[in-house]
Amino acid sequence: MADLETLEAAPRTLASNTALNFQTPSHDRREPVEPATNVRDVDSVQLYLTEIGMTPLLTAEQEVVTARAVQRGDDVARNRMIKSNLRLVVMIAKRYLNRGLPILDLIEEGNLGLMRAVEKFDPERGFRFSTYATWWIRQTIERSLMNQGRTVRLPIHIQKDINKVSRCARELRRSMRKEPSTTEIAGCMDRKPSEVSYLLKLAERTTSVDSQSWEESDRNLLDTVPARIEDNPVNIVDGEKIVLCLESWLDDLPVRQREILARRFGLLGYDAATLEEVGEEVGLTRERVRQIQIDGLARLKRAAKRNGLSEQELLS
């Protein structure tokens, strides 16, 4: 595998082919592109998964030592922290397939969130880095999908509704252990089935991850993406459990509290908004939104404290 100096020598090439680019990201955004399923993209994904699979995960003790070195400005430690957590990015990025960006672009966006998490992580808080990084990775990917995932951009409220459909479908799929119907998703969202059907049609992409990756193969793109991750005997499951745990805290809140917090702090696919903006979106006064926010944060803070997290880390 190429050494770190070689990897950093050609950031644009690596960002296109393997998404290994640890330089500080600029604020320039790429033009939106559609998913690709040709053999070159599949090979690039497999090459990237092979590359990151060769970097061992950090133990809890190594993670603390490395994170402290990062705080002291140690670039070698920073790169070690990033490279040892790239598999977490892939695990999260796979959830957003068929939403408007190719898998390599999703990974690259997630890597930007990972780099931000490395910069802000405080090891003295007492919890694992993957817990903290998950939120940064998810928010970066979701914001990117909203901003550039479609050539013809949908209104922001429609994009948010599509995100909510996807989230409800995933939760139902996990709880029922089968593919949910439009009616079941509508019940989860408290929307009419016809509205959910419309949103599902908007979310459909011209190229599906279920399509064949190349003519001579009976495999599809989704089959090829996780293969190297699953073959690698590393503790990816731990990261998945953490994500589910964090999501469950929000799920345990009353519906109104969950929506207010999500809109205020940019969670669950929403953009962060002011009290006034949230009030306009949900039909409540600014003061009522503030009261619901206080109650919701108190519940979330108690849940986080029981699990070694602070409110600040959850909503930063």
- Same domain flag for 159 and 306: no
- Same domain flag for 42 and 147: yes
- d(C-alpha 228, C-alpha 53), whole Å: 8
User: Does some domain include residue 245?
Assistant: no
Number of domains in the chain: 3
- Same domain flag for 18 and 126: yes
CATH number of the domain where residue 180 is located = 1.10.10.10
- Same domain flag for 93 and 228: yes
98, 246 contact by CB (below 8 A): no
pLDDT in tens, the chain (316 residues): 333 333 333 333 333 333 344 544 444 444 333 444 445 556 677 788 888 888 888 888 999 999 999 999 999 999 999 999 999 898 888 888 877 788 888 999 999 999 999 998 888 877 778 878 888 898 888 888 876 644 455 666 777 788 888 888 888 888 887 888 888 898 888 888 888 888 877 766 433 433 443 333 444 433 333 333 332 322 333 344 444 455 567 777 888 888 888 778 766 656 667 888 888 888 899 899 999 988 988 887 787 677 665 554 554 4
Q: Is 222 exposed, middle or buried (0-12, 13-18, 19+ CB in 10 A)?
A: middle
The DSSP code sequence of 220-248 is: BHHHHSSHHHHHS-S-HHHHHHHHHHHHH
**Scanning the structure block, which residue is given the tokens 């966006």?**
109
- Same domain flag for 14 and 64: yes
Domain that includes residue 170, residue range: 154-205
Q: Is 1 exposed, middle or buried (0-12, 13-18, 19+ CB in 10 A)?
A: exposed
User: Does some domain include residue 215?
Assistant: no
- Same domain flag for 42 and 184: no
272, 311 contact by CB (below 8 A): no
User: Does some domain include residue 59?
Assistant: yes
- Same domain flag for 7 and 112: yes
How distant, in Å, are the alpha carbons of 15, 226, 312 from that of 247?
A: 30, 22, 16
- Same domain flag for 15 and 138: yes
- Same domain flag for 225 and 259: no
